[in-house]
Amino acid sequence: ESAARSVPGVRAVFTARDVPGVNRYGLIKQDQHLFSDGRVRYVGDAVALVVAESPEAAGEGKRAVRVEYRELPAVFDPEEALLPGAPEIHEGGNSVCVSRIERGDAEAALRRADVVVENTYTTSMIEHAFLEPHAALGEIDEEGRVAVHVGTQDPHANLRDVATLLGVPEDRCRIVQATTGGAFGGKIDLTAHGFVALAAYHLKEPVKLVMTREEVF
């Protein structure tokens, strides 16, 4: 971190130690971390945030950050993740939730059916592929609240998560709905919101973040 902070134009470098509230968020279960807290779970996990006066300085600061990794047992298949003895990716197990839906007598309906087709179908991974990447602006508004301007599909859930990260009441934060544009489900959860909120909270000045297309994917 010290090497990144010494880069001309870099204003600050933040990590999990700088999250004043709870370093967790999530729509169904709060199992995502704004910054990795000692364990990186996938290639998109953030370990640090470099805030600078220009994109060039931010890039140079980012390249100055050095991280030491130790490889841990991994799991890459959702069914294998649920087997006994599978590496535990999150505390409390690898199942985020269980939903059981029963309606009517399925076995009787199958016995009455003229045709029963059974097969296993798979499809490729997809990305929402909206035109504009994730972006957000964080600032301290005229009433001293942390305000995040962002295109989002769920400002209410975003407000809850940002307040939790900052450790402040929800009425000390604002999520300002910007033009959402394309989303298709990809702008529900936190993306750039938490980072700009944290930076504005500490620096007391506007901070913006625009993710690269690679970061979006």
pTM for this entry: 0.89
pLDDT of residue 136: 97
User: Among all chains, which residue has been given the structure tokens 């980072």?
Assistant: 195
pLDDT of residue 90: 87
Token pair for 150: 């962002």
State mean pLDDT over 84-108.
90
pLDDT of residue 146: 98
SS3 25: strand
43 neighbors 5 (Cβ within 8 angstroms): no
Dist CA 110 CA 179 (whole Å): 48
Q: Is the pLDDT of residue 196 over 90?
A: yes
Average pLDDT value over all residues in the chain: 94
What's 213's DSSP letter? Answer: H
Compute the CA torsion angle 9, 13, 19, 25 (nearest 10 deg): 90
84-88, Cβ contacts within 8 angstroms, sequence gap of 24 or more = none
User: Among all chains, which residue has been given the structure tokens 């009455």?
Assistant: 112
Q: Is the pLDDT of residue 180 over 90?
A: no
To the nearest whole percent, how much of the chain has pLDDT over 90?
79
pLDDT of residue 92: 84
State mean pLDDT over 125-138.
92
How far is the first Cα of the chain from the last one, in angstroms, to the nearest whole number?
26
Dist CA 154 CA 156 (whole Å): 5
